[in-house]
Amino acid sequence: MRFEIVGKNVTITEPMRAKIEKKLSGLQKYLLIDPDTTARVVARVYPASQKIEVTIPTRVGILRTEVEHEDIYSAVDIALDKLEDQLRRQKTRLNRRHRDSLAETFILEEEEEEIDIPVKTKTLAAERMDLEEAIMQMELSNHDFYIYTDDESDRISVVYRRNNGGYGLIETE
């Protein structure tokens, strides 16, 4: 596996590069990763924490994880655990689907796998209100999003809480 390691607001030192390459090279034991695959790693430094983003294209999809931690080396370890878990789940799905010829499946499999996750369905009426009232209703209900019908546009909209503490708005056409 090849590595493309980029630092944002940080210089990638040789010990950091060696640690990242050593840890991610361990993922090659899974047959889903080709030797000519390029793993893209982005390390970012924030005032209170450090973040590592890893993206690896495989034969059956893209593995991607983001981990934010106080220590960059700990973030790499946590990201590796997450990627291994994703790979294990991919292999399990392939194994269930193709029990007869598992080795051939890893080589030939290119289509997306179906995910058998139970979906809970909920029906609601999108009440008519303005954006400020929708934000207030979302905060009162202690949810991360709120669906409503916008008074001005007369369309169904979704207001949501962003990770950085602000709000976002999704409007339908």
How many structural domains is the chain composed of? 2
Residue 119 maps to a domain: no
Does a structural domain hold residue 123? no
Q: How far apart are CA 97 and CA 143, in angstroms?
A: 37
Cβ count within 10 A of residue 94: 19
Looking at the DSSP assignment, which residues form a beta bridge with residue 44?
Answer: 8, 51
Burial class (CB in 10 A: 0-12, 13-18, 19+), 103: exposed
Tens of pLDDT, residue by residue over 98-143, are 555 545 555 554 444 555 678 788 888 888 999 888 888 888 777 8
In a domain, 97, yes or no: yes
| Residue 165 lies inside a defined structural domain of this protein | yes
The tally of CA atoms less than 13 A away on the side-chain side of residue 105 is 16
Residues 99 and 15 occupy one common structural domain: yes
Q: How many residues does the chain have?
A: 173
Please check whether residues 54 and 25 belong to one and the same domain.
yes
Same domain, 88 and 13: yes
Low-confidence ranges of the chain (pLDDT < 70): 30-32, 60, 94-116
The answer to whether residue 121 sits within a structural domain is no
Let me know whether 21 and 96 are in one domain.
yes
In angstroms, the CA 110 to CA 106 distance is 9
Domain that holds residue 152: 128-171
Is the separation of the CB atoms in 23 and 76 below 8 Å?
Answer: yes
Whole-angstrom Cα distance, residue 126 to residue 89? 37
Same domain (yes/no): 99, 155: no
- Looking at residue 110, its pLDDT comes to 46
Domain CATH for 52? 3.30.160.100
User: Which pLDDT does position 157 carry in this prediction?
Assistant: 93
What b/e string do you get for 107-130 counting C-beta neighbours within 10 Å, with b at 16 or more?
eebeeeeeeeeeeeeeeeeeeebe
Q: Is residue 40 part of a domain?
A: yes
Looking at the domain assignment, is residue 64 inside a domain?
Answer: yes
Q: Are residues 50 and 93 located together in one domain of the fold?
A: yes
Q: For residue 153, give the CATH number of its domain.
A: 3.30.505.50
Q: What's the whole-model pTM score?
A: 0.52
Query: Is 93 contained in some domain?
Result: yes
Do residue 20 and residue 67 come from a single domain? yes
Domain co-membership, 22 together with 74:
yes
Handedness of CA 85, 87, 88, 90 (dihedral sign): positive
Alpha helices in 124-169 (DSSP H): 131-141
**67 secondary structure, DSSP code:** E
